[in-house]
Amino acid sequence: MDLARFFASEFDQHEAVVAATRGALAGPFARLVDACVDSLKGGGKILFFGNGGSAGDAQHLATELAARYVTDRAAIAAMALTTDSSMLTAIGNDMGFDFLFSRQIEAIGRPGDVAIGISTSGKSPNVLKALEQARSMGLVAAGLTGRDGGAMRGLADPLLIVPSTITARIQEMHITLGQMLCGAIEIELGLVAEPAP
């Protein structure tokens, strides 16, 4: 294996997807920020969920908001639906894996909350069912995905579709977009000063 060539190729792919994402998603990103800020100002919360690496992203982003991101400031209402082992195993065992997140949204979701489903393919059944549940209850059903958007297209809005078919590159953009979301929310809520140009 030519490790030097592999190393360069991975960065080339990453940089190409960064450029494509930057060109495609400014509008949907702004709409997602606005939805989250409107929810939080109205006493709502942000719920993140996904499977595998996307579950890790959900936990990461919820922590950035509820604990801290750039600096100490007031807590922001956010949580991941991927962390309670008793809840997850009970739902999975008693109802089925497809209900892992929808059941939690049914329990704690309120109209005006923002439910952000994360799925690189846009086809994860439990993410789709959760977004359907969120919509039915008056939550904002939003999402991060890739490829062609899968079944999340038309279901989640705002929907940020990373323009790539490579899972690793999509995941890299999801955490980048997610951290940008956290930073923008802090600024829009007046908790952190906007950086100088």
- Predicted local confidence at residue 188, as pLDDT: 97
Mean predicted confidence (pLDDT) in 151-179? 98
Residue 196 banded pLDDT, cuts 50, 70, 90: confident
**For residue 160, which amino acid is it?**
L
CA dihedral 34, 167, 100, 138 (to 10 degrees): 20
The answer to whether 142 touches 156, Cβ cutoff 8 Å, is yes
Mean pLDDT, to the nearest integer, of 184-197?
90
pTM greater than 0.85 (yes/no): yes
Q: What domains can be seen in the chain, in order of their start residue?
A: 17-188 (3.40.50.10490)
Cα 23 from Cα 6, distance rounded (Å)? 26
